[in-house]
Structure 1
Amino acid sequence: MPTDEKQTGDSIQAESSQKTVNLLKVRDDHQLVRFEVVEEGKFKLCEGVDAQWVSAQEFGLKELRSRIEPWLTSLFQSEHLSLLVGSGLTHAVHGIAAGKPAAGMSGSVTEGQFKEKLNAAASASAKAVGRDQSNIEDHVRVANELLRGLEILGDNQQADALREDLSKALLNFAQSILKSEAGIATAAEPQRERAFNSLVTFLMSFASRTGTRDRLNIFTTNYDRLLEAGAELAGLHLLDRFLGNLMPIFRSSRLDLDMHYNPPGIRGEPRYLEGVARFTKLHGSVDWVQAGKDIRRIGLPFGAGEVDPYLKAPGLTGASPHQLMIYPNAAKDRETLAYPYVELFRDLAAVVCRPNSTLVTYGYSFGDEHINRVIRDMLTIPSAHLVVISRDDNLGRILPLAEERKSQVSLLVGTQLADLTTLTEYFLPKAAIDRATFRMSELLKQRHGAESSHHGSTKGDGQAGDAEAKT
């Protein structure tokens, strides 16, 4: 479920949200292009803002599309392309389907005698990384630390009580994740279809890579299975660290598996199979369970009513909700508390910190410092590029990053630019038809050239026909 739902604390963004201001920076823009909404589909530049590509006082989605879509299309064909998805995608799809945001991440871990101290410690932990309010991750982290301390002191009674409270809190959190999934899955059919169609279009805009390019890498900080559900509907095969079919096991040894096919009539030259992407859930998942020494993915249906019955399966060695692998929870592996998350973050750093790499973030508020550190390292590579698509900058971290690395950061910030429906219909490249579009452009160019040089002569028509045949 979302890991970066934060409170609005940035004064600039607060002012922007009142005026419905959108921030755009693409191509060779030297400064942010700020524009306001005049009416549905009509915009105007904010006072004091100048943009050469805006010729009239007002402009619409057509002008925005001509400015944004070609730029994103070129970036999406970088040698290495990665997508980082935050809670914004879950809220966007849930909003289309159910008409309201998905469940949040608030709530404490215990109601016992340690409640006040744990809440204070969680709040201090959140403020240390720039967040105004703590979330469930902060509470789980400090509760696990206290639990370990009680175990060291040998206070078994209080340790057992805290462990039970922690297990209940994780179960309730898992239930809220499943409730959000169910809100999408059980929505009225027209809204549900529209929501999933937008999700599928969103994913395939990134996944439709040419055969000579590296695979798309998808990273998410969410615990829900929305991306997995969208990939199934899109026919997109996701490759991750789990191996097996009935109850897949997380493997530290990444074999770098891929899928190829042999074209008819060609032997010994396998090509990339289309519709394949690499997938990493950086903060774990609601269906990951620690079973003994292994981490397994259980068969938890999308939007299931509850988690507990699926933890009773043979092979899970009496797993309880405390064994759910929700970051930063590692119930039994005390000596390696960061497992398996250290492996996942290593994957993120290895993938994005490469030359000619483009990272696109959607719905990520830059609230996780361990991820931000990797992104800052990526931007030290001159050929790397970052595209930020977000409804707001509620933590005030996006704009300073863009100011620091002007030439390497593109921004689409605002409710009009980041709206999932508008984004998929107008701004994201339609990769599935790009090749046909390019061929049509070449054909028209060759025909036009032939007609101009021969003034419509028969010879010119013949050359145009030859060009068409070659195309």
Structure 2
Amino acid sequence: MENKNSQVTEENILKVRDDHRPLHFTEEGDSFRLNEGSQASWLSGESFDYKELRNRIEPWLTSLFQSEHLSLLAGSGLTHAVHYLAADEGAAGMEPITFTDYQPEIDAAAKKSSKAAGRKEDNLEDQLRVANELLRGLEILQKNEEAETLRTELENGMQSFAESILKSEAGIATAKESKREEAFNTLVTFLMSFASRSGGRDRLNIFTTNYDRLIEAGAELAGLHLLDRFLGNLMPIFRSSRLDLDMHYNPPGIRGEPRYLEGVARYTKLHGSVDWVQTGKDIRRIGLPFGATEISPWLQAPGMSDATAHKLMIYPNAAKDRETADYPYVELFRDLAAAVCRPNSTLVTYGYSFGDEHINRVIRDMLTIPSTHLVVISYDDPLGRIMETYRELGRPSQISLLIGPALADLAKLTEYFLPKAAIDKTTYRMSELLKQRWGAQQSEEKPDREKENASEGGEV
């Protein structure tokens, strides 16, 4: 989570290109200064500015973004960053639930679960996950009265959880118009920096651990078409047989040579979404408006009589049997592994704190392929989990780091460091033309210099 109100000078960490170790520096006014013990061969002194940082970072990211396979993993940091741009404050937090029975046992198990994941403090997700497991145990033991009480409190907790997600959306949707436009323009620029890929490259894959619909809203404003596992229009249904559907077009005057339609990306919400509901054996996406104040009215529809907040398909909500608990998450994580664990693949994480071991395991497997690369962009690392994971992975040559407010603040990142949002043939033609002209100019100058050297040699 971003903490932009802190008065403490925050450290920035950079590692790109041929850096042997991470470079640590702090901001001093309009410039930056290397921390004691840090050295950089590409700097002439200890002080530098955004121009030198941009010259170091932007070409590197531009080349990585044109890898054969490119994936973006967005964590909660993206929601907090956009919310801060729109409303000058972070997104809404999640308050813990108070249970009538087994409160000490639930809290103790939640702390144990949090510690196993590398977090210092447990959160609502840990609490909900443990409470769901306890509910299943009470049902097995046929302690019906206690199970009913816990189920009711869980439904209320899930309702509050969903409303906290909607509150974050509403904070952006109802912000002052100028600030809201600035926030969404920054988000659109961020997304299109990734999605603007040349036609011969594989589609961008977007993964997120967030439950909100911020990326969907940004993609809609950007005209970016998202392909996911849902099919249908009125109430799209989750399908395992996605069959790698794509969108092409036929250029005028050319037959039988379809080309990729621009502005298309594949999209996967790894932990589910606030608008996914389990109805019977199916999982459907309901038409919940962005920034709605509550979810209950949108569950009042034919065929959804048994739908409650407890039926929302968000990760902490384990279903009654193991099979349903695995579905659809097992499909979604399989998509992540299939997308990133390929040769010549680049994975960029933004606002992800490396607190999900399921995802970390996939990243670890990805880096066993020598031609893959991981780019970590994060506003901060308060628990030290990112740097700890960096050291544990043990593959520094395959990892780039951009950590700190000077590098990962969303507005600064899109302005200075991310590739421009339109990498088209015109740009390549211009660069090739400049190379040819520069090469021709050098070849013309070379004979002139040789003649001068020869004449000077003859006079001696």
* TM-score where L is the length of structure 1: 0.90
Q: 1:129 aligns with which of 104, 114, 117?
A: 117
Distance between the aligned counterparts of 1:140 and 1:227, measured in 2? Answer: 25
Question: Are the structure 2 counterparts of residues 319 and 38 from structure 1 closer, same or farther at C-alpha, using a change threshold of 3 Å?
Answer: same
Amino acid at match of 2:9: K
Q: Offset of 1:120 from its aligned partner?
A: 1.5
The match for 1:43 is 32
Distance between the aligned counterparts of 1:32 and 1:450, measured in 2? Answer: 40
The match for 1:28 is 18
Query: What SS does the corresponding residue of 2:190 show, helix, strand or coil?
Result: helix
Q: Is the 8 A contact 1:250 1:295 kept in 2?
A: yes
Write out per-residue CA displacement over residues 212-258 of structure 1, whole angstroms, 9 at most, x where no aligned residue. Answer: 11110000000000000000000000000111000001112221100
Q: Offset of 1:315 from its aligned partner?
A: 1.8
The match for 1:459 is none
Q: How many residue pairs align between the two structures?
A: 441
Query: What SS does the corresponding residue of 2:422 show, helix, strand or coil?
Result: helix
Q: Offset of 1:159 from its aligned partner?
A: 1.0
Distance between the aligned counterparts of 2:314 and 2:324, measured in 1? Answer: 15
RMSD: 1.9
Query: What SS does the corresponding residue of 1:19 show, helix, strand or coil?
Result: coil
Q: 1:327 aligns with which of 315, 320, 329?
A: 315
The match for 1:204 is 192
Matched, 1:408 2:394: no
The match for 1:432 is 422
Question: Are the structure 2 counterparts of residues 57 and 334 from structure 1 closer, same or farther at C-alpha, using a change threshold of 3 Å?
Answer: closer
Q: Is the 8 A contact 1:328 1:338 kept in 2?
A: no
Q: Is the 8 A contact 2:136 2:320 kept in 1?
A: no
Query: What SS does the corresponding residue of 2:326 show, helix, strand or coil?
Result: coil
Q: 2:324 aligns with which of 322, 336, 339?
A: 336
Q: Is the 8 A contact 1:311 1:318 kept in 2?
A: no
Distance between the aligned counterparts of 2:61 and 2:218, measured in 1? Answer: 22
The match for 2:201 is 213
Distance between the aligned counterparts of 2:248 and 2:283, measured in 1? Answer: 28
Q: Is the 8 A contact 1:292 1:317 kept in 2?
A: no
Q: Is the 8 A contact 2:133 2:318 kept in 1?
A: no
Q: 1:231 aligns with which of 219, 224, 228?
A: 219
Matched, 1:275 2:263: yes
Write out per-residue CA displacement over residues 154-188 of structure 1, whole angstroms, 9 at most, x where no aligned residue. Answer: 12111111111000000001111111001001111
Matches within 5 A, 1:48-447: 48-108=37-97, 110-403=98-391, 404-433=394-423, 435-447=425-437
Distance between the aligned counterparts of 1:381 and 1:444, measured in 2? Answer: 36
Question: Are the structure 2 counterparts of residues 56 and 313 from structure 1 closer, same or farther at C-alpha, using a change threshold of 3 Å?
Answer: same
Amino acid at match of 1:437: T
Distance between the aligned counterparts of 1:313 and 1:333, measured in 2? Answer: 26
Question: Are the structure 2 counterparts of residues 126 and 448 from structure 1 closer, same or farther at C-alpha, using a change threshold of 3 Å?
Answer: closer
Q: Offset of 1:114 from its aligned partner?
A: 1.9
Query: What SS does the corresponding residue of 2:363 show, helix, strand or coil?
Result: helix
Distance between the aligned counterparts of 1:449 and 1:293, measured in 2? Answer: 65
Distance between the aligned counterparts of 2:60 and 2:374, measured in 1? Answer: 13
Q: Is the 8 A contact 1:402 1:410 kept in 2?
A: no
Distance between the aligned counterparts of 2:51 and 2:443, measured in 1? Answer: 33
Distance between the aligned counterparts of 2:438 and 2:132, measured in 1? Answer: 70
Ranges in structure 1 where 5+ consecutive residues have no aligned partner? 9-15, 456-471
Q: Is the 8 A contact 2:198 2:423 kept in 1?
A: no
Write out per-residue CA displacement over residues 398-456 of structure 1, whole angstroms, 9 at most, x where no aligned residue. Answer: 2233331110000001111000000001100014055433322332333345556669x
Q: Is the 8 A contact 2:288 2:295 kept in 1?
A: yes
* TM-score where L is the length of structure 2: 0.92
